[in-house]
Structure formats: C-alpha cells, structure tokens
A and B are shown apart, each in its own frame.
Chain A
C-alpha cells in the first residue's frame, strides 16, 4: 500500500500553511486563478491529456469515457457556446441536470468563462426551482428534456432568465423562442478558449442551502476555494495518481461539486460516476467493474448497504477498495465497525457543510479512527467548541457547546447571495458558527451532538421546516401545519408534518397521500413528509406562535421542557 499523502497528521499540524497548496498548484497570490482551467487545461499541460478524467455509466449500462483532453475540449466548447448566446462573467448559469456527463463538463465550462455555476438538484419541484432561480437572478438554465416542463411552468415569473439550453433534444418536442438546443456530439470542438481572467475573489459557484426560517440561501463561493478543496482532497480522501475514485454525491449538492468535480479533476485523478438510483447490488457491481479504489459516500447509503446484508458483499470482488470516507450527517459507530468487518477497512467520517466549502473536521489516513467521532480539525483550521452564551472556547473536555471555526480558510463562503444580513448572523465573537453542537474528548476528537436549530438533516440533505410548512399551506385542504423531524434508521431523520385540515377535508389515508404527493412535486422528494399526522389543533404560545419544539420532543421521546407559554395545555 502506498504511503498516505498526509503522512503524519501531527506533523502537518505543526508545519501548516495554505501556501503548500498554492505552491503545488503553481499559484501565486494576486495572480489569476480559474478553477475550470485548473481542472482541465492544467492537467493536459502536465502531460496527462490522455488519462481518463471521467468514466460514466447509467442504469441501462450505457458507458461513456472522457480523457482530460476530452474534458478540456468539451468544457471549451460549452464555454464558447455560452459566450455566443451572451453569457458574461459573473452571470449565473444554472445546471439543472441529472448526473449525465454534460453536468460535469458544463460545470467546468461555465467556470472557464468566469460565469457562476449554480447547480440544482434535478429532483427539485417547480417551487424549489423557482425560488432559487429568482433569488440568483439566473440568466441561463442548462437542462434536459425530461425537466423542461418544470422550467416552462415558472419562466414567465423569472424576468432575468433569458436562455433555456436543452442538451438532449431529440426533435420531438417543439421548443419555445427562448429554448435552444446544445449537443456536445454535434457541436464543433473548440480547441482554444480564452479563459476569463478570474482572480481569487471572483465568484465561482452558487449552492443553495436551507435554514430554519426564510427562503433558501445562496452560498457564494469564489475561485480561491480551490486551495482548500485541492488540499483536503489530497490529504483526507488521499487521492493518488493511479486511484479510481467514486464520489456518490449528486453535484446538485456541495459534496458533488467540491469533491465530485473540483477536488478530483484539479488533482488529475480518474473518477467514475454511476447515474442510477440506489441499489446495493448495482453499487457493488459498479465498484467491482471499475475497480474503485477510493469511495466517498454518505451515511444513509452506508446504512442501506448494511441493511442489504453481508452476503451480498461476497458476490462481488471489492478488493480494489483501499480507502473509504463519508459525509452528510454523523456516521454512527456501528456503520464504521460494520465496514471494517465486511470491506476490511472502515469509513473515515468527515464533517463540513455547504458554507464551509471544504472539509473541516476529519478522520485521516494513519490516524486512529474512533468510531462515531467526526475526527479532528484539518490542518490550518482553528476549531473550538464554544460556550452557547459567551461564544468563548470551552476548555473542559466532554462539555457540549457550539462548533466554531476561525473564518480564515480559503473555501469559506463569501456571503449569502443578496442576503448579507443573514450571512453576518453566522459569526459571533470572531468565530464562524456552522449551527451544530458538539463536544471534544480528552484526545481532541470532536463528537457530534445535534443541530442548534430546527433544520432537518434527512439523508445528509438539509430541509427547512419553514419551507415545507409554507408549501403545505398552499394545499387546498391544509389550515395549519407544523413540520419537525422524526427518527429514521436509514436517513437519521425524516420530515414529519402535523396538519389541521379545513372544513370539508377528511383526515384519512387518501388525504395524507394527496398532501405528500403535493409537497413532493412542489418542493422535492426530500421535503415530502414521510408521515402526516392530522390533529385538531397545534400547540401554540399565547401569542399564537406554533411551538414546534413540543412536537419535536414528542417524536424523539425527549423531555418537553418549559410549557408555561403554551396557550392551552389541557
């Protein structure tokens, strides 16, 4: 087994500077830096143009392969096309695609011309899509014909949206005036594209994330984020020259871009993508077929694999795997131990979020893994557990507080798009607060305790109770609603809604299904309540505010706490 890239965590901590990444990338402060160029042209200049960048397969077994030179040409071609229709630097271009090759190639192409890539989860319903495109004042959407209908339903309400680009048009659907076909297969490859002279603080990626209140927030990242993303990929995921890497995340979410595009491509590593729904057998078959060596996945998937059983593992050769990592929500100790038993190596948990842009707390190759722990701060990251009132670091091991990071690493978000006020609230006493609570043990390992707000983390994706409640009220039968999480073996927690109905609507199973489907189509399958409980009334304060925490406590079997403000506790 080759030596790990990080070699010794303790030594790296002592001698750390982000200039390590800058030097490896031949970047000097003040110079131009463009993630798209680093992910394609630079790798070709290093003599690796013939190396595979992307090995892609879909559920039907269709395969496509792209070398780094293919990636360079395809991203040039897409960038050239976008410029030809009037897309300029800093314009937002939404990628509303399933995990087809055009998603990965477009992302790189958008960055090359200095535009801002806005990837959105393709399962989003029209309302979820609308609020994100409206907030970002998105100028173009790249999509595929199966999702065109959702875009068409909202385009009249989006004055900034000028172009809808369809990448798989088959000629059957009649396109509207603002819809244009782009096909990589038929476009003339563009050998030379002028890379936009982006600098460290030029905007690069806009990801949307949910909060407890208000609409989703657009997290603005910049090209300098590459510095963090490159080095964390190298030291935590430990990607090496001959690795075959598989990141199972969808680039509609930050893991899928930071570590499913930027990290591996900037290192010139071969990565593979399976565009298919989850199936334990299909996943093992994929690892076996492509001889995956490094696998970055999520606790929800890992628990689903556990559920599928140990015998299935034996049907496939998984001996190529040499390193595993996880992200999205805390990885339970049982899953770490199970992986070591069946795969021969444990999953190394990592903790970070959309706003941090890169990994913050991690388990590292060569460092002892404590199953269930998030690990230790990445070198260069100053982390602490803070007192919840004073925001001063807690020095006593085991005491619970808020996670805080000194806001000085390259990939930290620069703002929430058009929402500076909410951005400023993320900082207290010189610390960035990700909104989670934790404790630190005697050895300096961090242990996740819970969220500090009502946001629901289901299967590693954040869902805003406010957003679901607002959508519920648009259903003709819903009078009032309160949305909380409930425990779930696979997804850690799922969405549950408490609903009071308007007169004329029956609280029965058919109504429940109708409301579930309403939310699924309007927002997304993630936001769909997995259970709806019809109640006569919701617990409220005397001033009329719904006491969500009472419902949450009941679902989780916790103490309800102070109910002195409850309007009626009969």
Chain B
C-alpha cells in the first residue's frame, strides 16, 4: 500500500507537476487543484492500468476518484485481484 502510494506520487510529480519546486503530498488535490486536468487524467489512468495490469472502467474513472494519490490508491486496490 505504502509502496503503491509512493509510486503514484512519484509518477504524478514526474509527469504532471510543472514547477519542480512545488511540493505535493498523498492528499494534495490533483484534479480540483488543477495539477492534473480532465484530459490528462486519461494518461494517468493508462499508467495505472499498465503498471498494475488492471482495467479501470470509465464510469469509475471520475475526477473525484482521481483527486489525490490516496484516492487513486483506493481506486486501484478495488480492481487488483
């Protein structure tokens, strides 16, 4: 669980954070905070699906479910076998 959190956090920092000086944590709002927009959410979803060999249905990939690293990890765990 902790490992997954760090992997997702690191990926978000690497891929979506424009300012390298900006600090984000597990509960930083990603979508509502404007760090990841709705179009970019597709690439984040694809990353999670590739990394954890899961398929997240579109109806579950809501802005709310992707709004923080904590929430993303909860979502991924729902689909892990």
Contacts and interface: CB of A to CB of B under 8 A. Distances in A.
B73 interface: no
Interface residues of B, number: 28
B47 A279 contact: no
Contacts, number: 84
B74 interface: no
A449 interface: no
B64 interface: yes
Contact of A277 (B20, B31, B43): B31
A351 to B, nearest CB: 23
Nearest to B18: A146
A172 B15 CA distance: 22
B32 interface: yes
A60 B43 CA distance: 25
Contacts of A172: 21
B21 A528 contact: no
B34 A277 contact: yes
Contact of A528 (B29, B31, B40): B40
Contacts of A59: 29, 32-34
A303 B60 CA distance: 16
B37 A525 contact: yes
A517 B15 contact: yes
A490 B61 CA distance: 13
Nearest to B50: A509
Interface string B10-47: 00000100111110000001111111111110110011
A540 interface: no
Contacts of A308: 62
B19 A517 contact: no
A512 B22 CA distance: 28
A509 B45 CA distance: 12
Interface in A526-544: 526, 528, 530
Contacts of A525: 37, 39-40
Contact of B34 (A276, A304, A509, A516): A276
B32 A276 contact: yes
A530 B46 CA distance: 10
12 contacts: A147-B18, A149-B19, A276-B33, A277-B29, A278-B37, A308-B62, A494-B39, A509-B50, A513-B43, A516-B46, A520-B40, A528-B39
Q: Which 7 A-B pairs have the closest CB atoms?
A: A146-B19, A525-B39, A279-B32, A525-B40, A277-B34, A59-B33, A277-B31
